Amino acid sequence: MYGNTLVFIMGEAKRRKNLGIPPREKTKDINLPQLDKKAIQQKVRSTLYKYPIIPFLFYGAAILILIGGLFYVFKSFNISKL
């Protein structure tokens, strides 16, 4: 069980060198596409100008979720005697 502890401690580069294996090839860096923040911001603004009710829907949904969470806490911990 403890006889092979050097294998676990040794890094991959040293292990490859001791085994006579050539070094591992370096992988190419992945180039992620660049985001055009101005274009995205313009699309969001145009959508909000086109449908001005969207912020009210989001705020209404957030308020309903908060009220539902409070109701769940009150009900689960028996805070009020209803």
Q: Which residue has the tokens 């860096």?
A: 29
What pLDDT sits at residue 1? 44
Distance CA 43, CA 47 (A): 6
pLDDT at 58 over 90: yes
Cα 1 to its chain centre, rounded Å, is 39
Distance CA 74, CA 81 (A): 9
Distance CA 78, CA 73 (A): 8
Q: What is the pLDDT of residues 5-57, one digit of tens each?
A: 554 567 888 888 888 888 888 888 888 888 899 999 999 999 999 999 999 99
pTM: predicted TM-score of the whole model, two decimal places: 0.47
